[in-house]
Amino acid sequence: NAGVMQNPRHLVRRRGQEARLRCSPMKGHSHVYWYRQLPEEGLKFMVYLQKENIIDESGMPKERFSAEFPKEGPSILRIQQVVRGDSAAYFCASSPGGRGTEAFFGQGTRLTVV
């Protein structure tokens, strides 16, 4: 059973470009979470999605950031018009849902904006 798969592992974008980060959850998991981690800091929640629905986006910046989890295919975190401050590690986690279920993390995508 493959774990949570994120790609790319590393992404370099120039200021003003778009960044697309992909996350394929573990088999059987229908809940996906995105977190951002700045160097030397803990992970901060961004958005929680179930298939085709955004459940909680309270941690997502209101502008330039969007997330989706379509019926078919991976979850996508999209950052438009990237700025240097978007440079960070972005982690995806998945869980099967329900109370007491544990979330498992992918290896992350390290975004560098130059």
Partner 1 sequence: GQQLNQSPQSMFIQEGEDVSMNCTSSSIFNTWLWYKQDPGEGPVLLIALYKAGELTSNGRLTAQFGITRKDSFLNISASIPSDVGIYFCAGQRPTGTASKLTFGTGTRLQVTL
Q: Which residues bind partner 1 (CB under 8 A)?
A: 4, 6, 31, 33, 35, 41-45, 48, 55-56, 58-59, 91, 93, 95-108, 110
- Residue 16 C-beta: closest distance to partner 1, Å: 27
Q: In this complex, which beta carbon is closest to partner 1, that of residue 14 or of residue 53?
A: 53
Element (H, E) at 12: strand 10-13
The span from the CA of 56 to the CA of 3, in Å, is 23
Judge whether 3 and 26 are in contact, CB under 8 Å.
yes
Q: In this complex, which beta carbon is closest to partner 1, that of residue 17 or of residue 38?
A: 38
Kindly compute the dihedral angle of the four CA atoms of residues 51, 92, 84, 110, in this order, to the nearest 10 degrees: -140
Q: In this complex, which beta carbon is closest to partner 1, that of residue 14 or of residue 58?
A: 58
- Residue 75 C-beta: closest distance to partner 1, Å: 15
- Residue 26 C-beta: closest distance to partner 1, Å: 12
The token duo for 33 is: 């979470």
Name the 3-class secondary structure at 85: helix
Q: In this complex, which beta carbon is closest to partner 1, that of residue 18 or of residue 41?
A: 41
